[in-house]
Structure 1
């Protein structure tokens, strides 16, 4: 049966000269769909980052779990989640140490992740710090080359690890992306005004959901542009459109707003 066609006037995507504390608060509260800062990274920084990309040891996801080919660098916590909702710490910390060493060898200067976190911290009024597990800082700042798109899915650490994971307690989670290479067409990010509910499980497909899960829901579409920074709340279902040619490469991490008002980061 069709769901509501009424539109939420607050669920919009805005372009801004810079991220602000109000943007982050509204995204956390669910009263904004997305915020994009055009030219968040300048062309020289994007060019330098692209020169370093091929020096990073990238790999594909396991095709049985992620059927859409995605090239990646850097460990993401969800890749180490056991069926029990706990973290495979042995593999995770090994891969984290390996990735940090590879990042240093690649010599990304200027560092797009460091720049991004510094500017987001300035917007919030306090530095972004790494999330920690048992006092140990997790990895933050992955690279993704996503040319075949991504399935409709959501990201919610509190649901993925329901017994808790970080030393910090999370109130809300945001996703940040900045593109250093974009295709001439395609590759748009779509965010729907819909969060997971039990009825969605009938549409489960690999790591995500079939398109029927978001039919009739309000959406915003954001085409990638080189150097643009994008923030949205990943608890909303979202997907990436395939691109017919070119390379769609982004550096990305999650931000968490804690119960003490801190911003923490992880991948």
Structure 2
């Protein structure tokens, strides 16, 4: 049986010349699907990023866990969960410090991560600060090249680390992406109006889910152009379609709205 046949009129994607505090609040509360800012970066920033890419130590995911090839730079916390849903701290901090050192060596200017964090902080009215664990700032700002697509999945820190992880308490999580290379066709992002529920586990596939988990759910499809930025709530199921040619490369990180009204960032 379909979960619903009615459409939520608030679950839409909007284009804007800039991100605003209202956008962030609506995404956090679930009354908006996504916000896209075309031309968020200047073209020289995209060119600088692509010029530095070969100097960054990138790697593939383990095929056993991620069946589609994704090349990435920088550690993501959900890749360091131990069997008890805690953090493999020794491995994470080692890789986080190595990534920071590599980023400093490259000296990317303009810096897409610094630019985006500054603009989002300006929109919110207070600077975005790194999430911390025991007073120690986590890494923020991964780079990913996704050409073979991404399975249907969700990202939700409070479910991935149910006993808590950060010094800050996160109420809502947002995902930020900005593209420095895009293919001519394919590579669209889809966000569904659906959050995890126990019945979804019958559709489990590797780190994500088979399409049947969302086949009756409302969706928005978002294509990207060079230098576009996108914000959405990653607790909603999401996927990326393959692109047959070209390179789809983005800088990405998560934002968290805390119980004290702050915005924090991590990858």
2:122 aligned residue = 122
How far did 1:18 drift?
Answer: 0.2
2:16 aligned residue = 16
Distance of 2:2 and 2:102 partners within structure 1: 49
User: TM-score, length-normalised on structure 1?
Assistant: 0.99
Distance of 1:11 and 1:66 partners within structure 2: 29
How far did 1:83 drift?
Answer: 1.8
The farther-off stretch of 30-39 and 43-52 is: 43-52
Distance of 1:191 and 1:142 partners within structure 2: 20
User: TM-score, length-normalised on structure 2?
Assistant: 0.99
* CA RMSD between the two structures: 0.4
Query: Can you list the C-alpha shifts for 1:108-130, whole angstroms capped at 9, x where unaligned?
Result: 11100000000000000000000
How far did 1:259 drift?
Answer: 0.2
SS at match of 1:202: helix
Distance of 1:260 and 1:26 partners within structure 2: 17
How far did 1:59 drift?
Answer: 0.2
1:213 aligned residue = 213
SS at match of 1:122: helix
2:94 aligned residue = 94
How far did 1:2 drift?
Answer: 2.0
Distance of 1:157 and 1:3 partners within structure 2: 25
Within a 5 Å distance, the mapping from 1:72-83 to structure 2 comes to 72-83=72-83
Distance of 1:83 and 1:231 partners within structure 2: 30
Number of equivalences: 267
Distance of 1:124 and 1:84 partners within structure 2: 35
Distance of 2:53 and 2:20 partners within structure 1: 29
How far did 1:152 drift?
Answer: 0.2
Unmatched segments (≥5 aa) in structure 1? none
Query: Can you list the C-alpha shifts for 1:85-126, whole angstroms capped at 9, x where unaligned?
Result: 000000000000000000011111110000000000000000
Distance of 2:136 and 2:46 partners within structure 1: 30
How far did 1:3 drift?
Answer: 2.3
**Pair 1:62 & 2:62 matched:** yes
Unmatched segments (≥5 aa) in structure 2? none
How far did 1:179 drift?
Answer: 0.1
Distance of 2:110 and 2:146 partners within structure 1: 23
SS at match of 1:238: strand
How far did 1:82 drift?
Answer: 0.9
Deviant stretches of 4+, over 6 Å: none
